Amino acid sequence: MRLLFVVALFSGLFLTALNAGAQEADPFASASRPDMDVDTDLQMGPILLGSFSVVAIGVGAGFGWQADQEYDDWKSAQSAGNGDEMDDLSDDVHNHSLVANILIFGGLAGVATAVLWFIVGRASDDDENEASVEMTARWRPVIGPGHAGLSLEF
């Protein structure tokens, strides 16, 4: 045990000394080196939301496939007349199809939101580069003879 501790201690000291010597001998470590800040137009928010939404759609498809398989098992149990197994499978089919619907439609809504976020974010970046343009949107009620609704004006 002591031997392992001594080896770890000397290897840590050796790596520290090696790293310190490498920093001193680094020809690229000069004060005149410019900062390497990378300015990208990549929007991480919509990309992450879209990625997680696609994963949710995939998981929902898996639950949907499982519900389909259990429905086939339920039909075979029905033809065999096994009531207890039918009840269990009926609950499983219901639960898995509910989870599948929530994940798939939630994922689709997330993908649509990510696409809109990406488009609006690109438009706002373009507006910042050009002259300042004020864009407003308003919902107005529309009421008339025989109809009522909302109108979006922008």
Asked whether the CA dihedral 88, 91, 94, 97 is positive or negative, the reply is: negative
Nearest-10 crossing angle of helices 44-80, 83-129: 160
pLDDT tens per residue, range 85-109 = 788 888 999 999 999 999 999 999 9
pLDDT tens per residue, range 54-95 = 999 999 999 999 999 999 988 888 888 877 778 888 899 999
pLDDT tens per residue, range 116-134 = 888 887 765 555 555 555 5
Contact 78, 41 (CB under 8 A): no
pLDDT tens per residue, range 2-45 = 544 444 544 554 455 445 554 555 555 555 555 555 556 677 88
Tokens of 88: 């269990």
Phi, psi of 152 (to 5 degrees): -100, 120
Contact 79, 91 (CB under 8 A): no
pLDDT tens per residue, range 109-120 = 999 999 888 888
Task: Give domain limits for the chain.
Answer: 44-124
Is the model's pTM score more than 0.85? Answer: no
Contact 102, 57 (CB under 8 A): no
Contact 64, 105 (CB under 8 A): no
